[in-house]
Amino acid sequence: MRARDTVFIGFTLFALFFGAGNLIYPISLGIEAGTSYLPAIAGFVLTGVGLPIITVAAISYFRNGATELAGRVHPLFGLLFTSMVYLVIGPFFAIPRAANVAFETGVVPFVSGGSFMLLIFSILFFAIVYLVSLNPSKLVDRIGQILTPALFLAILGLVVGSFFLLDGSVQPAGEKYSSQPFFSGFVEGYLTMDAIASLAFGLIVVTSFRDRGVTDQKELTMRTLKAGLVTAVGLASVYVGIGWIGTKMATEGTYDNGSAILSGAAEIMYGSAGTILLGVIVSLACFTTCVGLTVACGQFFSKRITALSYKQVILIVTLISFGISNIGLSQIISYSVPVLVFVYPITIVLVALTFAGGFFNHSTYVYRGAIIFTSFISLYDGLAAFGADVSAFKPLVQNLPLSELNLSWVLPALIGGAIGGLVHYAKRDPLPSKNYQN
C-alpha cells in the first residue's frame, strides 16, 4: 500500500468530519473566550480533534465497528447505544443543524422572511438530499474531494483577512471562560459531535484500509492513526483559525449564533462577494454532509429493522430532519447539549477501556462496571443541562473530584471499573468473545 493512500484516506476522513459544527462552534468560542482564547481553544481541540481520532483508532480493533465495541458491555447495550449514536448524528441533531447552517450562511444574508423562508428552503433542501441519497454512488465523495480544498482555502482567506481587515479588539473573557477556560473549551468540543460521529466513520476508514490489503492488526491501527493525523492537522488548523476570527468580532455587533458571526465576518472583510462565496461553499459542504449522514443512517437501520427497506429509512430520516430543522439553529443547539453531555462521557470511557483492555483481559465485568457508574453521573449532568430538577443529587455530584471541571464522571468510572475487576477476578471471567481481535 502506498503512503499517498494513507494521506488520501486522511483527506476523506476530514471531509466526513467537516460539517456544520466545525464552523459554528469555534467562532462562537472565540467571541466568548476573548483574552482566554488560547487555553479555551486548546481544550476545544482536545475533544474536537484528539478524541475523534483516538476513537477512530479504537474502531480499528473491531470488524463490526461501534456495535461490537459497545457490545463488550452487553450485546443489547451495543445495539441500543449505537442506535442512539446514529440518531444523534442523523435526524435528531446533526442533519437538521447542518441544514440550518446552510440556511443561515447561504440564504439569510440575502433575503428576509424568517421562519417562512426556512420552511421553503428546508423543503427544497431535504427533497434534494432524499433524491441524492437514493443512489449516492460516489457523488458525495467526488464533490467532497473538490469542495473540501475550496472550503479550506476560503477559510484561509477569512483567517488571513482577519489580521488586516478586522479592526475589532480582543475583549475580556466572558463568564463561561473566565475561571476555567481550558475545561470550558473541553466541554464545548463535545458540540462538534465528531467523537460520536467517529464511531460511525471509523468503520469507513478501517474498511478502506482493508480493501487496500492491510490485514495485520498492528499495521491497520498504525495506518489509521497516520490517516487520523492528516485529519487532525486539517481540523485543528480550521478550529484555531476560525476561533481567532471570533475573538476579533466581539466589538463588531451582536449575533445569535456562530453561523451569523461567520457570515458577518465575511461581509465586513470582503463585502457581498465574500458573503456569497462563503454561503455557496458552506451550503454545499453542509449538503454533502447531510447526504452522507442520511446514507449512513439508511444503511445502519435498514440492516437492523428488516421490516423497513433502505428507501423507507432514508425517507423517514429526511422527514424527521425536515421537521426538526424548522425549529431553528439556536433551538437545535440548546436541546442537543443535554444529550451530548450524557453521551460523550460514555464514549470516552468505552474508548479508554478499549486501549486499556489488555490489563484486565477485556472482561465484560470491567466494561459493565465502568459504564454503569459513568452513566449515572452523565445522566445527572444531562438532566441538569436540560433544566430538570436534580437538586436531590446535586450535593453528591458536586462533591466528587473534578466536578468543577465538568469531569465528575471520572472517579465513578474508575470505581465502577475496579469493582468489575474484582468480580472478574472472583469469577475468572474469560474473554467476552472469541471474535474480538485484541
CATH of the domain at 196: 1.20.1740.10
Please indicate, yes or no, whether residues 282 and 346 belong to a single structural domain of this protein: no
Q: How many CB atoms lie within 10 A of CB 29?
A: 30
Counting Cβ atoms within 10 Å, is residue 271 exposed (0-12), middle (13-18) or buried (19+)?
A: exposed
Q: What is the mean pLDDT of the chain?
A: 85
Which of 326, 356, 389 delimits the end of a domain? 326
Please indicate, yes or no, whether residues 151 and 207 belong to a single structural domain of this protein: yes
| Chain position carrying cell 484561509 | 156
More confident residue, 246 or 12: 246
Q: How far apart, in whole angstroms, are the C-alpha atoms of residue 434 and residue 42?
A: 40
Domain that holds residue 310: 3-326
Please indicate, yes or no, whether residues 125 and 14 belong to a single structural domain of this protein: yes
Please indicate, yes or no, whether residues 180 and 240 belong to a single structural domain of this protein: yes
- What are the tens digits of pLDDT across the range 85-101? 899 888 998 899 889 88
Please indicate, yes or no, whether residues 399 and 300 belong to a single structural domain of this protein: no
Please indicate, yes or no, whether residues 297 and 351 belong to a single structural domain of this protein: no
Q: Kindly report the backbone phi and psi dihedral angles of residue 136, in degrees, each rounded to the nearest multiple of 5, phi listed first.
A: -70, -30
Which of 297, 326, 355 delimits the end of a domain? 326
Please indicate, yes or no, whether residues 296 and 173 belong to a single structural domain of this protein: yes
Q: How many domains does the chain have?
A: 2
Cell of 70: 459497545
Task: State how far Cα 128 lies from the chain centre.
Answer: 24
* pTM of the predicted model as reported, rounded to 2 decimal places: 0.79
Cell of 144: 467532497
Which of 11-20, 157-166, 183-192, 372-381 is modeled with the greatest confidence?
Answer: 372-381
Please indicate, yes or no, whether residues 316 and 338 belong to a single structural domain of this protein: no
- What are the tens digits of pLDDT across the range 285-317? 788 888 888 888 888 899 889 899 999 999 999
Looking at residue 322, its pLDDT comes to: 95
Task: State how far Cα 204 lies from the chain centre.
Answer: 16
